[in-house]
Chain A
Amino acid sequence: MFKKLLFGLILAQSLSVQAADSKVQALLKQADGYRLADAQMQVETEVQLFKNGKLDKERSYTVYLKPGRRSLVLMQSPAEKGQKVLMLGDDFWQIMPQSQRPIRITPLQKLLGDASAGDIATMSWSEDYDGRIVGETKVGDIPCLRLDLTATRKGVSYQRVELYLSKVGAHPVKADLYVASDKLAKQALFTVEQVDGRPQVSAMRLIDQIQTNRETVIRYLSRKARTIPDEYYNPMFLTRSDLKQ
C-alpha cells in the first residue's frame, strides 16, 4: 500500500514537472515569434555602441538563419567589410578578408569584437534554453512572468537567462544575461512595435553590467523569409562570394 502511494506521488510530481516544462517551452516559442517570424530568414541589423551615453561605434550586419541553430553573419560596415562568422550549433568559424581562411573560434572568442556575434545572430530561446516560471512581477508598468532559464548546450553566449515575458502575449520585455561563471554580464530591454502589420521586436538595448558605461542598441532594420542551401553553411563556403557581401 505504502509503495503504491509513494509511486503515485512520484508519478504525479514527474507529470507536474513535465507540464511546467512544456508550458515554458510554449512560452519561449511564442516569445521567439516576436523576433523570428519564419524558420529561415535574412535579417538586416544595425548595431550602435554607446560609451558614457555617447555614440562610440556603428556597425551593420546581414544575418542568415536556418533551423538547427545555424546562422551566418556578414559584416557590412567599411571597417569590417569581408568578415564573416558562421555558427553551427556549438561550433563557430570566422573568416577575415586579409587571409581568406575560415578559422575555428571558441565560444568565448565569439564574444569578442565590436559587437558579440552571439548577440547579433541568436534570436531563439526555445532551441537553446529550458527552465521554469519562478514568479510574476511588473517591469515598468507591464505585468510579466519571470522565467529562470538554463542553457541546454554549452556553446551559447549566456549560460543562464532571467527572462521577463509579458503576461499578455508573452512578448519579451527584459532579460538578465549571465555568462558561464554566473556573473551578470548584460541586461537586455526589448522594444516591441507593429512591423509589417504584426507586433515584432524592433530593437534590443543591451546594458553592460560589467563595464556599466557601455550600452549596445541592436535594431532589426528588415526581416524577410529567405532559404539558402545547406552547403552555404559549410565553413569552406565562407571563401566564396555567392551571398550578398
Chain B
Amino acid sequence: MKSIYYLLLLSALPAMAEENGAAFKLRAIPEIHDANVNSPFAAAIPLTSLAHDRARTELEMRSAWSGVNLVATALSSAQEGGKPDNELLVNELYYDTTLFGQRFSLGKKILSWDVGFGFRPLDVIQQENRRSIFPSTLEGVPYLAWEKFTADEAWMLLLANPGRGRTGIAKNDESLALKYFRHDGNTDAHALLRFSQRYRLEAGIAFSSVVADGLEWHGSLLQQTQYEKSANTLASRPGPPLSATDPYLTQTLRQGRKTLLGATWTGESGVSLLVESWYDRNAYSAAEWRAAASLAQRQAALLGNPHIPETAVLGSLAYGTRDFARPNLLKKNLLLRLSQRSESDSFEPAIDMLYTPEDGGRVVTASLGFDANNTRVDAGLRVYGGRAGSAYRLLPEKRVAYLALQVAF
C-alpha cells in the first residue's frame, strides 16, 4: 500500500514543482559499519542497531504557498538483516502571519537556537544529535509563537508541543520559552528562559562575535534547575548482573549545566579551522564509564555458562549499549575541524577530531564533498579510538564509511 502511495506522490511531484516553485532533493546514503570485536559489548551486536550496515533513501520536498511552508521527506531505510522501513515525515509545516501589527507563527518548525557547531547547549527545544553521520533534515517541533522585531533586537515567546504536558521523550515535552536576541556591531547576544515539567526553569545565554576579517568566537551557557540522568542499576545490584527487564533507572538531579566555547578562523584561500570545547553535566564521567565497562565484562564472562541462558546475558548486554546513545559520551569534549571550501573549487575536503580528555577517547572523521551543478557527492570515514578503556574504545563499532549522493531538482 505504501509503495503505491509513494508512486502516486512521485508522479505528482513534477506538477507540484511547476505550480508552487517547489524544490526537491533526492538522497541515497549507504553506510558500512565495522564491528569492534574487542568491545565487551560485542556479543550483543545482533540485538542492537550498532555495527550493522545500513542504507537510506530520502526524497525531500520544500515548498511554500499562500504563506504556508512545507518541508516533507519520503524516507526509506534498511538495516543489514532487517526489513526495509518506509515513512513519510513532515519536517516542517508552519504559517507566519501578522495580526494587528503583531507577528505570529504556528505549526511545526525546526527551532535551533544555539551558536555552537559540535554541541548546542541552548537547543532546549530542538535537542538534535550533533554528531550523527550525514544527518537528515531535522524534524521540527509543534509550536505557537509571538515574535517582535526591531532593527537590532528580537523577542520570541513560544509554546512548544502545546497540550502535551510531560511525555516519554524530552523533545516532545510541552514547554514555555522566552527568547531574546540583540546584535550590536560585531557581536550577537542571545538569552532564553524556558519552563517545562521535566527540567523546571532553564536559563541560557550565548554570544557570537567577529573580531577580525576571518576570525569569530562564540560561547553559550545553559543552567538548569534540574536535569535527568539514567544509570544501569545492574552495576550496583548484588548477584548476577542480569535483568529480564529494562535495568535503567532515571534520576532527577539538581543544577544541570552545559557550557561551550569555540572559535572559527577562515583564511583567504578558503581554509577554515573550528575549535570548540564544551562541558555537559548530564553526560557520564570517566569513572561511570569504567563502571559500565566493568559491568559489561562481568556480563560477557557469563557467556558459555551452562547454568545461565545465553539470551539473558545478551539481552542484558544489549541494554547496556544504550549508554552510547547519549548526545555526549563524556562531560568534557574538545572538537577540532579543518576544512577547505572556495568559491571556485568543486571539492570540499574536511577532517575533524572529537577528543574526550577525561579518558583519552577520540573520534576522527575525514570527508570529501564534490559539488556539481545540481548534484552533490559526499564520502567519509569515521574511526573510533583512543586510550584502552575509553568510552569510544568500548563502543562496539570501530569504523563507519559512508557515501551520500544527492540530486536537487
Which of A28-36, A90-98, A139-147 faces chain B? A90-98
- The reply on B352 being an interface residue by CB < 8 A is no
**B137 on the interface (CB 8 Å rule)?**
yes
Shortest Cβ gap from B219 to chain A (Å): 12
Measured CB to CB, the closest approach of chain B to A30, in angstroms, equals 30
Name which residue of chain B comes closest to A229, CB basis.
B149
Q: In the assembly, what is the distance between CA of A106 and CA of B210, in Å?
A: 6
Partner of B266, one of A82, A101, A112: A112
A49 to chain B, nearest CB (A): 8
Chain A interface residues toward B at CB < 8 A: 49, 55-58, 77-79, 81-82, 90-91, 97-101, 103-109, 111-116, 154-155, 179-181, 183, 208, 210-211, 214, 230-231, 233-237, 240-242, 245
Residue pair A99, B112 in contact (C-beta under 8 Å):
yes
Known interface pairs A104-B208, A114-B343; A234-B150 also in contact (CB < 8 Å)? yes
**At the interface, yes or no: B186 with Cβ under 8 Å from chain A?**
yes
CB-based contact A78/B266 at 8 Å: no
11 contacts between A and B (CB under 8 A): A58-B373, A77-B374, A81-B23, A97-B62, A97-B137, A101-B113, A106-B210, A112-B270, A113-B343, A180-B213, A241-B96
The closest CB in chain B to the CB of A97 belongs to B62
B24 in contact with A78 (CB, 8 Å): yes
Partner among B137, B154, B156, B210 whose Cβ is within 8 Å of the Cβ of A104 = B210
Given the complex, which residues of A lie within 8 Å of B409, measured CB to CB?
78
Evaluate contact between B185 and A91: CB separation under 8 angstroms.
yes
Q: How many Å lie between the Cα of A108 and that of B372 in the bound state?
A: 23
Q: Is the CB of B109 within 8 A of A100?
A: yes
Which B residues are in CB contact (< 8 Å) with A100?
109-112
Cβ-closest chain A residue relative to B190: A236
Contacts of A241 in B (CB 8 A): 64, 67, 69, 94, 96
Complex alpha-carbon distance, A237 and B147, angstroms: 9
Verify B112–A101 contact, CB threshold 8 A. Answer: yes
With CB as the reference atom, state the residue of chain B lying closest to A57.
B373
Contact of A240 with B103 at beta-carbon distance under 8 Å, contacts A91-B185, A98-B137, A116-B343 already known: yes
Nearest residue (CB) in A for B97 is: A242
Q: How far is A154 from B212 in the complex, measured between Cα atoms in Å?
A: 9
Q: A100-B112, A101-B113 are in contact. Are A109 and B373 (CB under 8 A)?
A: no
What is the CB-to-nearest-CB distance from A160 to chain B, in angstroms, rounded to a whole number?
14
Shortest B248–chain A CB gap in Å is: 30
Residue on A nearest B151 in the bound complex, by CB = A230
Which residue of chain A lies nearest to B92 when distances are taken between CB atoms in the complex? A100
* Chain B interfacial positions (CB closer than 8 Å to A): 21, 23-25, 62, 64, 67, 69, 71, 94, 96, 98, 103, 105, 109-115, 135, 137-138, 147, 149-154, 156, 181, 183, 185-186, 188, 208-210, 212-216, 218, 264, 266-268, 270, 272, 341-346, 371-374, 376, 408-409
Residues of A within 8 A of B344 (CB): 49, 208, 210-211, 214
Interchain CA distance A55-B272 in the complex, whole Å: 28
Contacts of B266 in A (CB 8 A): 106, 108-109, 112
Distance in Å: Cβ of B139 to nearest Cβ of chain A? 12
By the criterion CB–CB under 8 Å, are A107 and B23 in contact? no
A96 to chain B, nearest CB (A): 10
B343-A78 in contact (CB<8A): no
Name the distance in Å between A73's Cβ and chain B's nearest Cβ.
Answer: 14
Given A106-B210, A231-B151: A56 touches B96 (CB 8 Å cut-off) = no
Instruction: Please determine whether A97 and B71 come into contact, CB atoms closer than 8 angstroms.
Output: yes
What is the bound-complex CA distance between A103 and B23, given in angstroms?
23
Contacts A91-B210, A106-B214, A240-B96 given; 5 further ones with Cβ under 8 A? A91-B186, A107-B213, A111-B268, A234-B149, A245-B64
Complex Cα gap A242–B66 (Å): 10
B109 near A231 (CB under 8 angstroms)?
Answer: no
Closest to A237 in B: B149
Contacts of A103 in B (CB 8 A): 115, 208
List chain B residues, Cβ under 8 A from A231.
149-151
- The reply to whether A240 and B268 contact each other, CB–CB distance below 8 Å, is no
Set of chain A residues within 8 Å of B264, measured between Cβ atoms = 106, 109
Given the complex, which residues of A lie within 8 Å of B216, measured CB to CB? 104-106
Would A235 and B183 count as touching, CB distance under 8 A? yes
Closest 4 CB pairs of A and B: A236-B154, A81-B23, A231-B149, A79-B408
Give chain A nearest CB distance to B373 CB in angstroms.
5
Bound-complex Cα distance A57 to B371 (A): 9
- State whether B151 touches A234 (Cβ < 8 A): yes
Q: How far is the CA of A132 from the CA of B183 in the complex (A)?
A: 35
A155 to B105, CA, bound (A): 33
In the complex, which residues of chain B have a beta carbon less than 8 angstroms from the beta carbon of A82?
Answer: 23, 62
Question: Taking the nearest CB of chain B, how far is it from the CB of A223, in angstroms?
Answer: 20
Is there an interface contact between B210 and A234, defined as CB atoms closer than 8 Å?
no
Could you tell me the distance between the alpha carbons of A240 and B218 in the complex, rounded to whole angstroms? Answer: 24
Closest partner residue, chain B, to A115 (CB atom) = B343
A179 vs B343: C-alpha distance when bound (angstroms): 14
Q: Do B149 and A236 have beta carbons less than 8 Å apart?
A: yes
User: For the complex, what is the distance from the CA of A40 to the CA of B94, rounded to whole Å?
Assistant: 29
**A101 CA to B106 CA, complexed, in Å:** 17
Contacts of A97 in B (CB 8 A): 62, 71, 137
Q: Which of A91, A211, A234, A240 contacts B105 (CB 8 A)?
A: A240
Say whether B183 contacts A242, CB under 8 Å. Answer: no
Cβ contacts under 8 Å, A81 to chain B: 23, 62, 408
CA distance A210 to B344 in the complex (A): 9
In the complex, which residues of chain A have a beta carbon less than 8 angstroms from the beta carbon of B62? 81-82, 97
From residue A245, how far is it (CB to closest CB) to chain B in Å?
Answer: 5
- Contacting residues, chain B, for A77 (C-beta < 8 A): 23, 374, 408
